[in-house]
Amino acid sequence: MTSSEPLDQSISAADTTFDAALIRIAVVVLLGTVMTIVDSTIVNVAIPTLGRELHATLATIQWASTSYVLALAAIIPVTRWVIDRIGAKSAYLISLVLFIGGSVCCGRAWSATSLIGFRALQGIGGGMLVPVGQTILTRVAGPQRMGTVMSLVAAPSMIGIVIGPVIGGLVLVTLGWRWIFYVNVPIGLVGIALALAFVPRDEERGRAPFDVVGFFLLPPGLVLLMFGFTEFGNIGHLSTSVLVGLIGGPTLIGAFVWRSLHVHDPMLNLRLFANRRFATANIAGLLFVAASGSGPLVTTLYYQVGRGYSPLGSGLYQCAWAFGAAIALPIAGRIIDRSGPRKIAIVGMFIYVASNVPWLFLTPTTSMSLLTVTLFVRGIGSGFVVTPLMAAGYAALTRSQMPTATTLSNIAQRFGQAAGVAFIAVVVQRAIVSGLPRRFSTLSRIPVAGAARRIVLAPLAHVFVIASWASMVLIAVSLVGALLLPRTPAAVDSDARLEPNVSSGVASVDVADL
């Protein structure tokens, strides 16, 4: 089979079930994905502890998270070129080694500065793990099994965001902060052993030269834009640093886009967005990730600030979200493979919206049992949305387009989440400033006990009502994208409709039924 041959020719239409080889490969990929997602959320919970242990201010130690995210943004665009040059299996193994090495270094950090630098090294490995793993899975699965396999890819992202704080709280209490990094080592070593044993060595290689100009345009542009979003969320206003990121980032990215459409071998083939299905799925996915990715921020702040729970208690309550997602993801995958992605995505969004309704009427005494049920339902809704969005984007692509597709999708998801978190963080901060007495105008000043605590309970509840309405706005926008998803399953969509255009690397597709 040539690299330009459509994926659906490699797997018969009847072959829509998992075989043993695919299951083994899925386990390998999931290990790497779980590590990166859980590690990120664990560190977020540990930020106050890291600040105390390393004698750093909150503004400084926050960079332990920011440097990781910025490194992710910088390395993701290079992933496609790395896969083409050394193969997906080798790229995955190198990513695991970098992530494990970065984890060990983080555990041995002696200062805030050293930790920030080592987290960047971790981010380089983690940034490649997810798109490379997705490339391996999508190449093996084929379009007929895309819904099911995407449910596996989505599971760690959904569940890891929620269980990370629980694991982080337990590790911090029992083993100490260095072990939030050391726990990655045994998991990573198992991942390396399994990858060596089960992931086939792909023979496909690209021969495109490294795009030096593109490398100095896109990764710095993505880093600046991510930095601008992050800073805007942290400080809540348009400072010089925020403006540098939000203006400089798009400028460099715009230059990269223009150049990529006028050169033969760009770092990323943006003409892939000419495929309407791929473009629609990624736009809808970016918008939904912006909404759902900011959800844990609202719930975490509500439980810890609004209700006074510890990080561990907050994480335990939010496990309901993980349970709901775990139930919904495999169901969604099977439905997509049979019936197409659009209906299940729209149903999932309405379920997500319904779960958010009680949060629009929060009071200081809102039942915690009710909120736990809403998070469980929210997990179901999220599971019904994320899988079809991912599956719809990949199902109509050729095998050779998968590395570029997974890279572009991961960039969209990372920035969707960054933008959503920044937006909600600003909404929360503005609501605190306008709704609470001046002496409690920042999170660090909000009292946790005593008479002063009783003064702020009602205004705090209203803060999170406002944040919940803001999340509803993001969900409403993402629903527009879901309405444009294809009606039919991948096996039908890809049947003789997608023919590779060798000259441009773009698939021409009949989009009349969108």
Residue 286 corresponds to which amino acid?
L
Among candidate residues 79, 77, 27, 83, the one with its CA nearest the CA of residue 203: 83
In the predicted structure, residue 16 carries a pLDDT above the cut 70: no
Residue at token pair 């990513």: 95
493, 395 contact by CB (below 8 A): yes
Where are the alpha helices (H) located in 302-367, listed in sequence order? 311-339, 342-356
In 162-200, which positions are buried (b, 16+ CB within 10 angstroms) versus exposed (e)?
Answer: bbbbbbbbebbeeeebebbbbbbbebbeebbebbeebbe
- Rounded CA gap, 333 and 391, in Å? 8
Q: What is the rounded average pLDDT of the residues 337-362?
A: 84
What tokens were used for 279?
């473009």
The predicted-structure confidence for 250-271, as pLDDT tens digits, reads as follows 999 999 989 888 887 788 778 8
In the predicted structure, residue 101 carries a pLDDT above the cut 90: yes
Nearest 10 degrees: CA dihedral of 245, 248, 254, 259?
-130
The predicted-structure confidence for 338-349, as pLDDT tens digits, reads as follows 766 778 888 888
DSSP 267-317: SS-GGGGGSHHHHHHHHHHHHHHHHHHHHHHHHHHIIIIIS---HHHHHHH
Confidence at 236, pLDDT banded by 50, 70, 90: low
- Rounded CA gap, 495 and 355, in Å? 37
Helix (H, G, I), strand (E, B) or coil at 362: coil
CA angle 126, 33, 225 (to 5 degrees): 45
In the predicted structure, residue 354 carries a pLDDT above the cut 50: yes
Nearest 10 degrees: CA dihedral of 159, 161, 163, 166?
-170
DSSP state of 436: S
Helix, strand, coil shares, percent, the chain, to 5: 80, 0, 20
Confidence at 365, pLDDT banded by 50, 70, 90: confident
What tokens were used for 421?
């978190």
Where are the alpha helices (H) located in 395-510, listed in sequence order? 402-435, 451-482, 490-493
116, 67 contact by CB (below 8 A): yes
**Position with higher pLDDT, 350 vs 415:** 350
Specify whether the backbone of 18 is left (phi greater than 0), alpha (psi in -120 to 50) or beta: beta
Helix (H, G, I), strand (E, B) or coil at 104: helix
DSSP state of 5: S
Helix (H, G, I), strand (E, B) or coil at 499: strand
The predicted-structure confidence for 419-464, as pLDDT tens digits, reads as follows 787 788 788 878 887 877 777 766 667 766 667 777 778 888 888 8
The predicted-structure confidence for 46-76, as pLDDT tens digits, reads as follows 776 787 788 876 567 777 877 887 888 788 8
In the predicted structure, residue 207 carries a pLDDT above the cut 90: no
Q: Report the run of H or E that residue 508 belongs to, with start and end.
A: strand 506-508
Q: Which CATH number applies to 7-211+265-506?
A: 1.20.1250.20
Confidence at 491, pLDDT banded by 50, 70, 90: very low
Q: What is the rounded average pLDDT of the residues 278-303?
A: 80
320, 376 contact by CB (below 8 A): yes
Instruction: Pick the most confident of 64-68, 99-103, 141-145.
Output: 99-103
In 419-443, which positions are buried (b, 16+ CB within 10 angstroms) versus exposed (e)?
Answer: bbbbbbbbbbbebbeebbeeebeee
What tokens were used for 507?
């698939």
Residue 408 corresponds to which amino acid?
L
Length of the chain: 514
Among candidate residues 301, 46, 72, the one with its CA nearest the CA of residue 165: 46
- Rounded CA gap, 367 and 477, in Å? 29
In the predicted structure, residue 508 carries a pLDDT above the cut 60: no
In the predicted structure, residue 77 carries a pLDDT above the cut 80: yes
Q: Which residues contact 286 (CB under 8 A, 6 or more apart)?
A: 412, 413, 415, 416
What tokens were used for 333?
């995958």
What sign for the dihedral angle of Cα 132, 137, 140, 141?
A: negative
460, 305 contact by CB (below 8 A): yes
Number of Cα atoms under 13 Å in the Cβ half of residue 99: 34
Among candidate residues 373, 438, 387, the one with its CA nearest the CA of residue 151: 387
Amino acid 470: pLDDT: 87
Number of Cα atoms under 13 Å in the Cβ half of residue 402: 30
What sign for the dihedral angle of Cα 440, 446, 452, 454?
A: positive
In the predicted structure, residue 103 carries a pLDDT above the cut 90: yes
